[in-house]
Each structure stands twice: as C-alpha cells, then as structure tokens.
Structure 1
Amino acid sequence: MFDELVRRWWIVAARGAVSVLFGIAALVAPDQTLAWLLKLFGLFALADGLFTMGAGLAVSWLSLFLEGFIGIAVGLVTLFAPASFVEYWLIVNIGGYAALTGALELAGALRLKSQARGAMVQGDWLLGLNGAISLVFGIFLLFNSAMNPGTMVMLLGGFALVSGILLLAFAFNVKGWRNVLGSPAVAL
C-alpha cells in the first residue's frame, strides 16, 4: 500500500488543489446565488470523489474508494436532482458528506499508521487531522441545518481551504516517503 500511495501522491495533491480552488471561489464570491453554490459544490464533490476513488483503486484502499464513491454520488445528486430538492437538503448534503468522508479519512489514517512498517514517516498525521476536522465540520452542519446561506458559504469556503491545504501538505509529505521507505521513484 505504501509504495502505491507514494507513486500516486499526485492524486492526493490534485484533491487538495481542487479543495483549495473551491474554498477560494466560495470565499471570494459568497454573495453569489444559491444555484451557483449548488453547481460549484456539485462539481467539487464530483471531482474530489473521482480523485479519491482513483486513489483508492490505485492503492487498494477500501476506505478511500468508499469516500470517493460517496463524493461522486453527492456530486451527481447535487448537479442533477431537482433544484428544490437540492436546495432544501444542501446543508444536510454537505454536512453528511463532510462527516462521512472525515470518518473514512480517520479510518484511512489509522490504517496508514498501522502499516508504516515501523518507519517514522513525516506528516502522516495530516490525513488524520483532515479527517477529524471534516468529521467535526460535518456534524456541526448537521446540527445547524437552518443556517443562513451566506454564513454557510463562508464556513464551507474556509473549511475547503483548510482541508485543501492539509491534503496538499500530506501529499507532498507522501512524495518524500520514498526516501524513508525505500520505495521506487515516483511515477508521474
């Protein structure tokens, strides 16, 4: 698993980049219409899900694969369900997505830690931290589903930006693991 993750570190980096771009877009234009936010979130969830599912397949990691599947499903529902359905369930959709992916990232971080072969790998905690933040953010949204849309956009943008930065930092740490673990050269 480690060797495959090291070889495909760029998939995790792509996830982080997509999250950072979504976060910046949400923070720069928080007053956009709800329809714009729905499309933007749907595209984000779909892209994030595709990258995550690809990473899960590449490294034979079930929790990543499931996280990707959930992202794709949420993205497709957000993009193609009737607007009245999606608008009503927007915060629940985002909160559920964040909580589920956070729990799966925590599970993945624990698996990663257990399979480190006794090696000290720098930055392995970043995935767990991202999972914990996602889980807490998701639960917060689920318990505050009547939130003002403008507030929700700002919170979501901030969350996506922090999550993306953590994923990028994790990805670049993973890239460096080949030196610690003796993995083959990274393929691009």
Structure 2
Amino acid sequence: MLDYLVRHWWVLILRGAIAIVFGLLAVVWPAITLVVLAILFGFYALVDGAMAGVAAFRAGDGSRGPLVVEAVLGVLFGIVALLWPGFTVLALALVIGAWAVVTGVFEVAAAVRLRKELAHEWLYVVSGVLSIAFGIVIWFIPGVGLAAVALLIGVYAILFGAVLIALGLRVRAEGRNRGIIA
C-alpha cells in the first residue's frame, strides 16, 4: 500500500484540496440553502469516493479492502444526496454524520495496515478520528440551524483536507527518502 501511496501521493493532496475548497464554501456561505448544500456535499462525496476507488483498485496488495468500502459508500452517499436534495436539515445532518463515521472507521483501518509499512504513521489515524468525531457531533446536534451545520461541515472539511495534504506531503517525502520517486 505504501508503494502505491508514494507513487500517487498527489491523489491525497488533491483530495485534501477539494475538501478545503468545499469547507471554505460552506464557511463563507453559511446561509446556503439546503438544496445547494446537499448538492455540494453530493458532488464532494462522489469525487472523494471515486478517488478512494482509484486508490483501491491501483493498490496492488491485499490491503485495499478498507479503501474499496470507503469508495463504494462515498459514492452511494453522494448519489443519495444528489437524488433527494430536499431532505430536511436533520436528514442531511444524519446522512453526513453517518458518512463521516463510516469514512473515519475505514480510514483508521487503512492507517492500521499502513503502519505495518510506515512507522509512526499518525496522520491517517488523525483524519479518521476527525471524521468519526465530526459524525458523532452531528448525530448529537442534528436540529441546529443550517448555518451552524454548514459551519461545522466547513470546519471539518478544512481540517480533514489539511490533514490529507500533510499526509500526501509526508508520503512523497518518504518516497524520496526510499528512492521510489525523484
């Protein structure tokens, strides 16, 4: 798995950049309508799931299972958000919370496998824990106004994106240290 990540370190950085852009949009426009927010989330989840799918299918070893599940669920959650954008804030918050928890669990699982190849790898664990914590917070306060949900989503996406970018840079540096990439 590490060899794949080293060769495709830019995918982590791209996923992080997309998450940050999504987060900034949610923070800058907190009064955004539910339909627009659902559509933005739907596209984000689809793209993130597709990228996780690319990573899973290009990983040559048996450690791609968590990435496959993350990809499938990301795409499914994205499709649900795009097909039914009229959900209430409560329904949208629950979908996003579930997506974050599921994604976080599989990111932690992938990190555990990655630790076998890369000592002291904690950034992927942090991204998974952030996802799980965000999902749980959303479950416990689903009735808050759309602006608060948008702000929470935005802050989460910005933090998650920053962690993925840091991980991508760390993996790239590791690849250079090992002589895998120039």
CA–CA distance in structure 1, aligned partners of residues 151 and 105 of structure 2 = 23
Whichever residue aligns with residue 147 of structure 1, its letter is: V
Give the one of 166, 170, 181 matched to 2:178: 181
Pairwise mapping of residues 43-122 of structure 1 onto structure 2 (< 5 A)? 43-60=43-60, 61-81=64-84, 83-85=85-87, 89-116=91-118, 120=119
- 1:40 corresponds to: 40
Structure 2, unaligned runs of 5 or more: none
Instruction: Give RMSD over aligned pairs.
Output: 1.6
- 1:11 corresponds to: 11
- 2:122 corresponds to: 125
Give the one of 146, 150, 173 matched to 1:149: 146
- 1:162 corresponds to: 159
CA offsets 1:118-142 (integer angstroms, 9 cap, x no match): xx47xx2111101101111111112
Could you tell me whether the CA contact under 8 Å between 1:14 and 1:51 is conserved in 2? Answer: no
Deviation at 1:19, TM superposition (A): 0.2
CA offsets 1:94-126 (integer angstroms, 9 cap, x no match): 00000000111111111100233xxx47xx211
CA–CA distance in structure 2, aligned partners of residues 157 and 19 of structure 1 = 9
Deviation at 1:147, TM superposition (A): 2.0
Give the one of 155, 164, 171 matched to 2:168: 171
Superposed structure 1 runs of 4+ greater than 2 Å apart: 83-88, 179-183
CA–CA distance in structure 2, aligned partners of residues 96 and 54 of structure 1 = 22
Deviation at 1:80, TM superposition (A): 1.4
CA–CA distance in structure 1, aligned partners of residues 86 and 20 of structure 2 = 28
- 1:136 corresponds to: 133
Could you tell me whether the CA contact under 8 Å between 1:12 and 1:52 is conserved in 2? Answer: no
CA offsets 1:74-105 (integer angstroms, 9 cap, x no match): 00111013x44465520110000000001111
TM-score (structure 1 length as normaliser): 0.89
